[in-house]
Amino acid sequence: MASTQGLKLLEAQGIAVTLHPYDYDPGAEAVGMQAAAALGIDPALMLKTLMVEVDGKPACCVIPADRHLSMKRVASAFGGKAAAMMPPAKAEKLTGYRVGGISPFGQKRLVPTALEEVSCGASKVWINAGQRGLLLGIAPEDALRVLSARALPLIA
């Protein structure tokens, strides 16, 4: 199994994770939901990584696969006035990952990151490991610490 930049970062930080490969379906309407179904994971604990722009500046949001971002909450979370989804090609260039495999861990450029606060009460969540078809299981407090992220309300 390939080692991604995200996995290398977590290993260097001494963060324990579990790896969960699954058959990635490039035609899936919702990749996070497909991954949750493939692994039998509660979609509320299967987190998707979304790259956004707040007042034109990049940021990263990590939310449950079965939920949608509130752009108003995203703008507020990052101290801005307006938020929008980052175009896929720009997200790939910024993170060094391909859409469908974007991880908040080990991105090429460090950007402000927030995790949906409702997810942070779980003992473990699943997040993309930086490769299509590979998730990692991690304690939310470890994810917050290694990402220097905040737990904030981000969903609609």
Give the pLDDT confidence of 28-77 residue by residue, as tens digits.
888 888 999 999 999 999 999 999 999 999 999 999 999 999 999 999 99
CA dist list (Å): 46 to 61, 75, 94: 13, 23, 23
Residue 8: pLDDT band (50, 70, 90) is very high
Residue that the structure tokens 């790896």 belong to: 19
The answer to whether residues 138 and 125 touch, using CB atoms and an 8 Å cutoff, is: yes
Whether the predicted pLDDT of 153 surpasses 70: yes
Share above pLDDT 90 across residues of the chain, in percent, rounded to a whole number? 87
- Looking at residue 76, its pLDDT comes to 97
Share above pLDDT 70 across residues of the chain, in percent, rounded to a whole number? 99
- How deeply is 37 buried, as exposed, middle or buried, from its count of CB atoms within 10 A (0-12, 13-18, 19+)? middle
Whether the predicted pLDDT of 26 surpasses 90: no
Q: Domains in the chain, please, with CATH? A: 5-152 (3.90.960.10)
